[in-house]
Structure 1
Amino acid sequence: MTRRHDEFVPFSVVFGLPTEVGLRVAAKALGLSPTTAYRRIRRGDFPCALRKAGRTYVVRMPDLMRALGIQDVRVHHDDIEAGARFSAGMTDD
Structure 2
Amino acid sequence: MKRHRDESVAFSALFGLPAEVGLRTAAEALNLSPTTAYRRARNGDFPCRVRRAGRRYVVRLSDLMRALGIQEVRVRYDDIEAGARFASGEADT
Q: TM-score range by the shorter chain?
A: over 0.9
Q: Count residues with an aligned counterpart.
A: 93
**Correspondence 1:1-93 to 2 at 5 A:** 1-93=1-93
Q: How high is the TM-score relative to the length of structure 2? A: 0.95
Counterpart code for 2:50: L
The CA deviation at 1:41 is 1.7
Following the alignment from structure 2 to structure 1, what is the Cα–Cα distance between the partners of residues 87 and 63? 30
Following the alignment from structure 2 to structure 1, what is the Cα–Cα distance between the partners of residues 41 and 61? 18
Following the alignment from structure 2 to structure 1, what is the Cα–Cα distance between the partners of residues 53 and 37? 17
Superposition RMSD in Å? 0.9
Following the alignment from structure 2 to structure 1, what is the Cα–Cα distance between the partners of residues 92 and 31? 43
**Seq. identity, %:** 71
Counterpart code for 1:82: A
Following the alignment from structure 2 to structure 1, what is the Cα–Cα distance between the partners of residues 75 and 61? 17
Q: How high is the TM-score relative to the length of structure 1? A: 0.95
Question: What SS does structure 1 have at the residue aligned with 2:37?
Answer: helix
The CA deviation at 1:43 is 2.7
Counterpart code for 1:87: A
Question: What SS does structure 2 have at the residue aligned with 1:58?
Answer: strand
Unaligned regions of 5+ residues in structure 2, if any?
A: none
